[in-house]
Amino acid sequence: MARQHSAPTSRRMTRVAVLQTLCEIDSVDHALDEVLRQKRETRHLSEAAAAFMAQLSAGVLENIRGIDSIIMEFAPSWPISQMAIVDRNLLRMAIYEISIWGETPPRVAINEAVELAKAFGSESSPRFVNGVLGSVMKREAKHRALSETGEDPESVDPNFQSRRPPADTEVW
């Protein structure tokens, strides 16, 4: 059965570059600045696209510990190190966009991650990515609702993670 993909957008193509960047750093530990420079040169990205790529890539890497703990919370049967590299980095990107950055509507971040999972992941990747991100989005919505009522999400949910990274956050 052939998979159907929606037409790629400029942002989607930039997310592909971010996914490639994160996978390269994840697998061979190249420096972020060098990988971004190479992507800008080979992809001939617009200034806005290059800025989006740099911001999303750096944001994921700066918050990787917190993001990975969210992944472990919602996919406890899948240790991060044993997850497929594409799935792991798609989840990292989307969770950063949903839970930390806040610039992308959650449904858009999930849709983009699922579309990229269809294109670059295994047959089971889209369902896995969608399931994890759907759970993350539900928790985020619950926490936003609590915040709007004046309740502290951390007092209601001990697993709540503030959008602010811990002071000791390391950059990969």
DSSP the chain: -PPP-PPP-HHHHHHHHHHHHHHHHHHH---HHHHHHHHHHHHT--HHHHHHHHHHHHHHHHTHHHHHHHHHHH-TTS-GGGS-HHHHHHHHHHHIIIIII--S-HHHHHHHHHHHHHHHS-TTHHHHHHHHHHHHHHHHHHHHHHHHTT--HHHH-TT---SSPPTTPPP-
What does the pLDDT look like over 98-138, one tens digit per residue?
999 988 999 999 999 999 999 999 999 999 999 999 999 99
Q: Is the pTM value of this prediction over 0.85?
A: no
CA 122 to chain centre: 17
Question: Domain of 32?
Answer: 10-156
Q: Answer yes or no: is 24 within a domain.
A: yes
pLDDT at 171: 37
Any domain includes 165: no
Q: Does some domain include residue 89?
A: yes
Is 147 inside a domain boundary?
A: yes
pLDDT of res. 161: 52
* Rg of the chain (C-alpha set): 16
Cα gap 66→96, rounded to integer Å = 9
Structural domain includes residue 168? no
Kindly state whether residue 74 falls inside one of the protein's structural domains. yes
Per-residue pLDDT tens digits for 136-171: 999 888 877 777 777 665 665 555 554 444 444 443
Residue 3 resides in a domain: no
Domain count, the chain: 1
Mean pLDDT value across residues 44-72: 94
The answer as to whether 5 is a domain residue is: no
| Domain of residue 22, CATH code | 1.10.940.10
